[in-house]
Each structure stands twice: as structure tokens, then as C-alpha cells.
């Protein structure tokens, strides 16, 4: 993959930087020689995810409280990676109003702050994390960035998350068009790996935890729905590469892997890789989530655009990701799982 390393002395802001993806990105940036400021309220992130580093500053606070005073609190920044968001199907279904307000209001404020966040109050290159959920209930085999999208009715709670992330994208692209903000939108497809937890509905860590405990792996529905899983350590390398390339600004990019696997096959793979004797159980979606949930049969990204732009490829085999996640979970205290 074509990569552009951080220049010496670069200062990056990572919102949600103590979270699953954010902490891996923070480590990558520090390894490049950048100074990093993380803003995270630790609602889903953990300080234990971050290294003790002399070029890392962590502000434990709500992003909404920091943004009005960003210059005074953080100082000029050379890059912004906006990963703070309400994430996970369970969290979104349980607290839809909070998820919508977090995703839309925070992103709007962040984009406004980014217009003057750079050195000499210049616009700061900004990456906005979006989601494959934006594609809604499309029935295509493969999803491309310029595809039309179809959502269910507003009475179906699931689509509130998709709509909120789509609005984030509209806001980002409008700021690029109207104010020349150098912004890139990244649509994540099922990113997995060490530090991900199953508490908010993420399927792979939920399966791994069950396998390690010798408990049944619960597959929702019949398990024939398919997804494509990419290792977080592959995914985070693409983020600086996209943000630092002028030709990527003002554009949307799918990020992930494009090899599909059914959820039942995923459960079988977890059992095999971990050496577990767990069985597979099934549960109807109606029993797993509140009223207002719809599942999608398949979700596979078209990666042509990101391959052409930066030569991206998801290289880590899924079995390796599962093994590394299992090893990390075994090493954690029981209370942290």
C-alpha cells in the first residue's frame, strides 16, 4: 500500500482515540513520530488501550465540551481523525436518540472547528469516520461509494444510525465544497481485531468470548447472512494515507475486506481456531433486539476506489485476527472482558 509518513513534529488530534480503532490509529501515528492528542469520554473506550508515551496527551472529556475551546485546549493541529461516535448495533438500538445526537451534532461541531484548527488558523485536513450502514437496505451484491441508498421507514429504529452517518457525510462534503476544508470520508466495513469488545453488539468478540468460556456461540437468525471482516491493523494504515493525499480529499472511500463469510461460518471458524468445544445456538432477531430491527442479507464493499488511490489491501487472514483477538482476551483480567 502506498503510504505517506508523518512529517517530524506533526500534531494529530484523534477523537475517540481510546476506542478500538482509535487506539490502534494513535499507536500508528506515534510510531511515525507524530505527537497525538486524544479526546475521549471513555464511554466505550479504555485508557488501557493507549500506551504510556511522551508524545501522547489524553484529554478525558466529552468532545462537545472541548470543541468550543479547541485552540486553547489542544492548540493548532496538522491532522484530525474524527472517530468519536455512537457505535454498535446494540448501543444504537438501545439508545437511538443519544446515538443520533452524538453522531450528527458532534460531527457538525467538529467540522466547524476544523475550519480554523490548523496552524495559523487555517483549515485542518480532517478524516470523518463513516460506516457501511450508510448503504441502508440495498440489495446489490457489492456496494460502491456512488450507489443510491435506500432506508426503511423512520418508525424502524435501525435506520436512524444509517441516516445519521449519511448526514455526517453530507456535512463533511459540504464543508469541502463551500469552505475548501480538506476532508476525507472513510466508510468502515466490519473492522475487527484485538481490543474490540462484544458489549455493544460486535459479533466477532462476542463469539470469541463465548468460545473461550466454553459457552454456546449465539447466531442471530439462521446465520446465512454474510459480511466481510478486515483486521484493524490493516485498516488503520489506510487512514493517514488517504488524508495526506490531495487527490483523496472531498471524496468517500470504502475501507475493509471483500471476502464474504456467513455468520454461521464465522462461528465455526472461531470454534476451530480457539480449539473450543462450544456449540452453536440460534436466536431469532426478534428475541435479540428491541422492536424496530432489520438485518441485511449481505454487505460486501467495492474496494476499487481505495485500491486505485493508495493501493490498499486487507492482508491479515481472518484466522490470524481471531487468534490474536483470543490471545488478547485471555490476557485480560476477567473483569475487563
Residues taking part in catalysis: 161
C-alpha cell at 60: 478525558
> What is the Cα–Cα distance from 175 to 169, expressed in whole angstroms?
10
Bridge partners (DSSP) of residue 40 are 60
Q: Reduced to 3 states, what is the DSSP secondary structure of residue 69?
A: helix
CA distance 37 to 236: 17
Phi, psi of 209 (to 5 degrees): -60, -45
Question: How many CA atoms lie less than 13 Å away from 261 in the CB half-sphere?
Answer: 19
Tell me how far the alpha carbon of residue 153 is from its chain's centroid: 25
The Cβ-side half-sphere exposure at 238, using a 13 Å CA radius, reads 33
Decide: 155 and 222 in contact? Cβ < 8 Å. Answer: no
* Torsion sign over Cα 313, 232, 29, 114: positive
Amino acid at each position: 500500500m502506498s503510504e505517506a509518513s508523518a512529517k517530524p513534529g506533526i500534531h494529530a488530534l484523534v477523537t475517540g482515540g481510546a476506542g478500538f480503532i482509535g487506539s490502534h490509529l494513535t499507536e500508528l501515528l506515534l510510531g511515525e513520530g507524530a505527537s497525538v492528542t486524544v479526546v475521549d469520554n471513555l464511554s466505550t473506550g479504555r485508557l488501557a488501550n493507549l500506551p504510556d508515551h511522551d508524545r501522547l496527551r489524553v484529554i478525558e472529556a466529552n468532545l462537545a465540551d472541548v470543541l468550543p475551546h479547541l485552540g486553547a485546549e489542544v492548540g493548532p493541529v496538522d491532522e484530525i481523525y474524527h472517530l468519536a461516535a455512537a457505535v454498535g448495533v446494540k448501543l444504537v438500538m438501545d439508545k437511538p436518540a443519544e446515538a443520533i445526537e452524538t453522531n450528527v451534532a458532534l460531527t457538525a461541531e467538529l467540522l466547524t472547528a476544523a475550519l480554523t484548527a490548523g496552524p495559523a488558523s487555517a483549515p485542518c485536513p480532517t478524516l470523518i469516520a463513516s460506516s457501511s450502514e450508510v448503504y441502508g437496505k440495498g440489495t446489490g451484491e457489492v456496494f460502491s461509494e456512488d450507489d443510491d441508498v435506500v432506508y426503511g421507514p423512520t418508525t424502524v429504529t435501525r435506520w436512524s444510525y444509517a441516516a445519521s452517518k449519511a448526514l455526517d457525510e453530507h456535512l463533511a462534503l459540504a464543508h469541502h465544497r463551500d469552505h475548501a476544508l480538506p476532508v476525507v470520508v472513510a466508510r468502515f466495513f466490519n473492522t475487527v481485531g484485538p481490543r474490540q469488545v462484544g458489549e455493544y453488539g460486535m459479533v466477532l468478540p462476542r463469539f470469541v468470548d463465548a468460545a473461550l468460556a466454553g459457552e454456546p456461540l449465539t447466531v442471530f437468525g439462521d446465520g446465512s447472512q454474510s459480511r466481510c471482516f478486515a483486521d484493524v491493523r490493516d485498516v488503520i494504515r489506510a487512514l493517514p494515507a488517504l488524508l495526506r493525499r490531495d487527490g483523496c480529499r472531498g471524496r468517500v472511500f470504502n475501507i475493509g475486506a471483500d471476502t464474504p463469510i456467513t455468520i454461521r461460518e464465522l462461528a465455526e471458524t472461531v470454534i476451530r481456531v480457539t480449539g473450543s468445544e462450544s456449540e452453536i445456538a440460534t436466536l431469532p432477531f426478534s428475541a435479540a433486539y428491541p422492536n424496530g430491527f432489520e438485518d441485511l442479507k449481505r454487505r460486501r464493499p467495492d474496494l476499487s476506489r481505495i485500491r486505485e488511490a493508495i493501493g490498499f489491501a486487507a492482508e491479515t487472514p481472518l484466522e490470524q485476527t481471531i487468534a490474536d483477538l483470543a490471545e488478547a482476551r485471555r490476557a485480560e483480567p476477567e473483569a475487563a472482558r
